């Protein structure tokens, strides 16, 4: 088929290489413009393959829609897209446009689906390839695959270790289903739908008085981005590589240990109490071993975080 691919990063690059290997024709590749002088991996792959490459800063307005329409594509693909793509663009290909989303739709619509699944302590996740429509992640489902979310998964490990490879394969399988005239369009069950905002610092502040399980899920759900944070002497400390530990109870936010393993902090009260071991942290500078950073900041056992 003749395809227009819109995407970014390594995920879209891998989808592009798979499409070429399968013998599909790329009418054009749309990638982000260079950032800090560095081209996106998708753009580099398109250049190496000598494919028509576009790098618009926005897809709004009639120009991009007219451009895509003129390409005469059979199918559009959105492979890891963070910009808003208007209906005039997604409707331009003859058969419509498919989009990849890292959740089991209709649950966890929105741009931070992976974060919120971890934050809410989900034990099963996956991805969906769906037919785009004017809504946000609301179009009919073509394909879904489920994966297990482990108790120590972070947003990063869930994506890179469990979603990335199956997701690329799922996108390529979906294209073949469309090419063979066997692609379903399964309406989403709106009674099961949920939508979450982009996960940002507005959600990433640690409240150590919450249960240890909730604190732990927040930290791993914000790892690596945006980075859950607490405060010490007015400075933000971003927290990464967390693990649960069994330790005697203490007031929430109390530092229980600072050593070569990192930083152990009390969370929760009563039956919901526990300790969180922080492996790495970031203050004003680079990400460091949490114990080393704590020592450099004068953060010792008995100190209280978040005050």
Residues 234 and 181 in one domain: no
Domain count, the chain: 2
Residues 186 and 121 in one domain: yes
Residues 12 and 116 in one domain: yes
- Asked whether residue 302 is assigned to any structural domain, the reply reads no
State pTM to two decimals: 0.95
- Asked whether residue 306 is assigned to any structural domain, the reply reads no
* pLDDT, position 141: 98
* pLDDT, position 218: 98
Domain end residue (candidates: 172, 192, 212) = 192
Residues 33 and 70 in one domain: yes
Q: Which domain holds residue 89?
A: 2-192
Cis, bond preceding 37 (omega within 30 deg of 0): no
- Per cent of the chain over pLDDT 90 is 95
Residues 63 and 105 in one domain: yes
Query: What CATH number did the domain enclosing 102 receive?
Result: 3.40.50.170
Can you give the C-alpha Rg of the chain in angstroms? 22
- Asked whether residue 264 is assigned to any structural domain, the reply reads yes
- Asked whether residue 301 is assigned to any structural domain, the reply reads no
Residues 65 and 205 in one domain: no
- Asked whether residue 277 is assigned to any structural domain, the reply reads yes
Encode pLDDT of 107-146 as tens digits.
Answer: 999 999 999 999 999 999 999 999 999 999 999 999 999 9
Nearest alpha carbon to residue 114 among 174, 152, 151, 163: 163
DSSP per position, 153-217: --HHHIIIIIIHHHHHHHHHHHHHHHHTT----B---GGG--B-PPP-HHHHB--TTS-HHHHHH
Encode pLDDT of 21-67 as tens digits.
Answer: 999 999 999 999 999 989 999 999 999 999 999 999 999 989 999 99
* pLDDT, position 76: 98
- Asked whether residue 59 is assigned to any structural domain, the reply reads yes
- Residue position matching structure tokens 């050593």: 259
Residues 94 and 142 in one domain: yes
Residues of the chain with pLDDT under 50: none
**Tokens at 35, concatenated:** 């950032």
């Amino acid at each position: 088929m003749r395809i227009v691919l819109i995407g970014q990063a390594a995920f879209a690059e891998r989808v592009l290489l798979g499409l070429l290997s399968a013998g599909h024709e790329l009418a054009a590749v749309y990638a982000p413009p260079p950032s800090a002088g560095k081209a996106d991996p998708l753009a580099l792959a398109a250049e190496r393959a000598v494919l028509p490459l576009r790098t618009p800063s926005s897809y709004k307005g009639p120009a991009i829609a007219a451009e895509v329409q003129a390409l005469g594509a059979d199918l559009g693909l959105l492979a890891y897209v963070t910009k808003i793509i208007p209906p005039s663009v997604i409707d331009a290909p003859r058969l419509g446009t498919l989009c990849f989303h890292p959740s089991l739709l209709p649950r966890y619509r929105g741009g931070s689906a992976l974060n919120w699944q971890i934050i809410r302590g989900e034990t099963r996740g996956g991805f969906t390839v769906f037919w785009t429509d004017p809504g946000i992640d609301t179009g009919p489902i073509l394909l879904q695959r489920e994966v297990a979310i482990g108790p120590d998964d972070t947003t990063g490990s869930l994506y890179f270790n469990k979603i990335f490879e199956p997701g690329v394969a799922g996108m390529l399988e979906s294209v073949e289903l469309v090419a063979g005239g066997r692609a379903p369009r399964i309406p989403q069950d709106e009674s099961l739908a949920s939508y979450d905002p982009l996960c940002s610092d507005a959600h990433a502040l640690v409240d150590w008085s919450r249960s240890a399980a909730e604190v732990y899920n927040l930290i791993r759900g914000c790892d690596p981005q945006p980075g859950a944070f607490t405060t010490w002497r007015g400075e933000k400390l971003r927290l990464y590589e967390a693990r649960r530990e069994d330790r005697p109870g203490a007031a929430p936010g109390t530092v229980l240990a600072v050593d070569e393993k990192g930083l152990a902090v009390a969370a929760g009260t009563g039956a919901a109490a526990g300790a969180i071991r922080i492996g790495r942290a970031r203050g004003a500078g680079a990400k460091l071993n949490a114990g080393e950073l704590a020592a450099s900041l004068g953060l010792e056992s008995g100190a209280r975080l978040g005050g």
